[in-house]
Chains A and B, each alone.
Chain A
Amino acid sequence: MAAIHAILRALARALQRDLGTLQSIGGNNFFLFAAVLMLEPQSAEFLLLLLGLLLLFPLSTDPLTKIPADRYALWPLTRWQRFALRLASILLSPIIWIAVLMLLLKAHWVQALAFVGFAISIQVLTVLTRNVVHRAPQWNLLLHIPQFPGLLGGLVRNNLRQFLSVLDPYLALLLAAGATAYRLSPHPNSSAFAIMALVVSLTLGTYAQCLFGLEFGSGLIRYRLLPLRGWQILLSKDLAFLIVLTILVLPLNPVAGITSGLAMLAIGHHISVRERLPQKRWRFTGGQLIPAGFLQTLGGSALGFAAYQRGFLYIAIAVVAWAGSLYLYGRAWDAEMESSK
């Protein structure tokens, strides 16, 4: 019994820490946007539903997978102890707590059960995908990202893969897909596409604040060893961001989306270089909501909308702001690397 108790305590601690990483959403620009929309709850419903759907992926993880498989197999536990551990670990799952909460809030038990079933099917899908990719790596779509040409091509590929290993682009993809589907409706409002392009850009904007968030010790050392200037390293990050953004806003309104994205990067460089906020894979990124996130949302949306309505001048302002920021924070990166030696 003492062994099970010790393992469960360690599991609970690991789960608690894991749930803590979901708090990053509190520093995400999209959260700020959804919070503002909450003033009129009906408008926020769809966005929160999308957010919740994506959060189910990390939440539905089997708690027992926190124990390394080899370690679990090596522990001298009887069959009954393993069975007890299996049962008890299920109770640690956040999905079970949410289902219980739903029941307490007087939801019908069928709804609570349907929620648990949905979460389990997401988990099954995740595990199946992982196994397929493990056995047949060619099914890993990230592996097919090509080497881009030029001096920074390899870095852009690496940065693109990093960007695609956080949840933000997937939320942006769902939003872009929904807005693209709206094009098929009988009388779509053309301004809606510009606004949706801005929302997509805003959803990706927090990542512009943490461009180095997934670079830990090893990656940073490589940047310091490569014969590259700070602005080149930052440019390789920006290009990856702009590639994803361009693909997503292309069917909506690329002028508004990309102009807004350049403004997001221009502001985000400051936090990316100065703060280097650490991020976790397969979570929403968390940046600095106030003032950086607020400025990104306001500045990016204003410039993007102005570019959509009035054209060239505002695109040029965004390009100049981005290029200036790239130069300044490239130098700041070089200085930072010197001083952090």
Chain B
Amino acid sequence: MIRCQNLTKTFGSFTAIDDISLDVSGGICALLGPNGAGKSTLVKMLTGLVPPTSGSAEISGLDVQGHNLEVKRVIGVLPESLGVFDSLTIEEHLLLCGPVYGLSAGETRARMEPLLRILGLQNGRKTFLDQCSHGMRKKTSLAMALLHNPRVLFLDEPFEGIDPVSAKAIHDLLTSISQRGITVFLTSHILSIVDRLATNIMMIRAGRIVWTSASPGASRPLEDIYFDLVEAPPSEDLPWLRSTQS
């Protein structure tokens, strides 16, 4: 479903993605890594938002660069910047997307209702996006990604800023759709959720995949592997926080 060969992206002298090859077919694949590791750049390249400096990517057998429009029809994306319009309400975003992806008005409404219910957006459905919390904006973007029943779903940090009830609902939803054959590719910082949800985990550091769940030693706790391979927490102290004076 998702295949890339020797993908590289450079911005001037900075290499954001360094010769990544991967093949994901089915299940939920999670990409872990610190800020600036290249997670979002990789998602942007796989969804056609950023062209690679070298290498190639395919989604459902379609070349991402050569069949841009066809690829857009089969994928659902929760982008880093969410891709929402401030002057539309939550439900109007879904009413906009349905026809663009070829759904009738009736079908769009029929799909919209349960989506809004599951994602806890029902009460705020008539709220303009510029008046919504970050979590609601993110859930709206997720609903837009799911509405047209995509074959491949790309989610850039879907759980960050989401309340626990909605996070559980999204977790269950993703598990259920992946069991129906939809490939889910997500990035996250939240190790506990990824550990429970993903069928395939990859860690990225400085633009390179440094570990996958198929690697040896995968039985160790995910947190230990992450701190060893990707980023250990700093141990520096802030002495002025111990002072009684402000």
Contacts of B93 in A (CB 8 A): 154
Task: Tell me whether B87 and A218 are in contact (CB under 8 A).
Answer: no
Partner of A161 from B69, B72, B83, B87 at Cβ < 8 Å: B87
A-B residue pair count with CB separations less than 8 angstroms: 80
* A126 CA / B237 CA spacing, docked (Å): 49
Task: Tell me whether A147 and B95 are in contact (CB under 8 A).
Answer: yes
Task: Tell me whether B73 and A217 are in contact (CB under 8 A).
Answer: no
Give the secondary structure class of A's interface.
Answer: helix
Known A154-B95, A157-B92; contact A228-B100, beta-carbon cutoff 8 A = yes
Contacts of A226 in B (CB 8 A): 72, 97, 100
Query: Chain A, interface size: which category?
Result: 20 to 34
Partner of A221 from B81, B100, B101 at Cβ < 8 Å: B81
Known A137-B127, A224-B49; contact A153-B83, beta-carbon cutoff 8 A = no
CB interface residues, B 82-130, toward A, < 8 Å: 82-89, 92-93, 95-97, 99-101, 126-128
B104 to chain A, nearest CB (A): 11
**B77 in the interface (beta carbon within 8 A):** yes
Task: Tell me whether A218 and B126 are in contact (CB under 8 A).
Answer: no
Contacts of B127 in A (CB 8 A): 137
Task: Tell me whether A227 and B101 are in contact (CB under 8 A).
Answer: yes
**A158 in the interface (beta carbon within 8 A):** yes
B114 to chain A, nearest CB (A): 20
A336 to chain B, nearest CB (A): 14
How many chain B residues touch A (CB < 8 A): the figure is 30
Task: Tell me whether A154 and B100 are in contact (CB under 8 A).
Answer: yes
* A219 CA / B99 CA spacing, docked (Å): 18
**A225 in the interface (beta carbon within 8 A):** yes
Task: Tell me whether B99 and A218 are in contact (CB under 8 A).
Answer: no
**A162 in the interface (beta carbon within 8 A):** yes
A129 to chain B, nearest CB (A): 15
Q: Which residue of A lies closest to B145 (CB)?
A: A225
Q: Which residue of A lies closest to B47 (CB)?
A: A225
Contacts of B72 in A (CB 8 A): 225-227
Partner of A227 from B85, B88, B100 at Cβ < 8 Å: B100
Task: Tell me whether B88 and A161 are in contact (CB under 8 A).
Answer: yes
Q: Which residue of B lies closest to A159 (CB)?
A: B87
Q: Kindly supply a per-residue 1/0 record for chain A positions 328-341, scoring 1 wherever the CB is within 8 Å of any chain B CB and 0 otherwise.
A: 00000000001001
Task: Tell me whether A219 and B85 are in contact (CB under 8 A).
Answer: yes
A204 to chain B, nearest CB (A): 18
Partner of B81 from A147, A158, A218, A338 at Cβ < 8 Å: A218
Residue in A143, A221, A338 whose Cβ sees the most chain B Cβ within 10 Å: A221
Q: Kindly supply a per-residue 1/0 record for chain A positions 209-233, scoring 1 wherever the CB is within 8 Å of any chain B CB and 0 otherwise.
A: 0000000011101101111110000
Partner of A218 from B48, B84, B89 at Cβ < 8 Å: B84
Task: Tell me whether B88 and A225 are in contact (CB under 8 A).
Answer: no
CB interface residues, A 135-164, toward B, < 8 Å: 137, 142-143, 147, 150-155, 157-158, 161-162
* A263 CA / B39 CA spacing, docked (Å): 45
Residue in A154, A161, A162 whose Cβ sees the most chain B Cβ within 10 Å: A154
Q: Kindly supply a per-residue 1/0 record for chain B positions 168-211, scoring 1 wherever the CB is within 8 Å of any chain A CB and 0 otherwise.
A: 00000000000000000000000000000000000000000000
B15 to chain A, nearest CB (A): 17
**A24 in the interface (beta carbon within 8 A):** no
Contacts of A227 in B (CB 8 A): 69, 72-73, 100-101
A67 to chain B, nearest CB (A): 19
Task: Tell me whether A143 and B126 are in contact (CB under 8 A).
Answer: yes
Partner of A225 from B83, B86, B95 at Cβ < 8 Å: B83
* A229 CA / B100 CA spacing, docked (Å): 11
**A165 in the interface (beta carbon within 8 A):** yes
Q: Can you identify 16 A-B contacts, CB atoms within 8 angstroms?
A: A143-B126, A147-B95, A154-B88, A154-B96, A157-B92, A158-B96, A218-B81, A218-B83, A218-B85, A218-B86, A219-B86, A221-B82, A222-B85, A224-B48, A224-B49, A225-B72
Q: Report which B residues bind A (CB closer than 8 A).
A: 47-51, 69, 72-73, 77, 79, 81-89, 92-93, 95-97, 99-101, 126-128
Q: Sorted from nearest, which 10 A-B pairs have the closest CB atoms? A: A154-B96, A222-B83, A161-B87, A227-B72, A221-B83, A227-B73, A218-B81, A217-B81, A158-B85, A221-B81
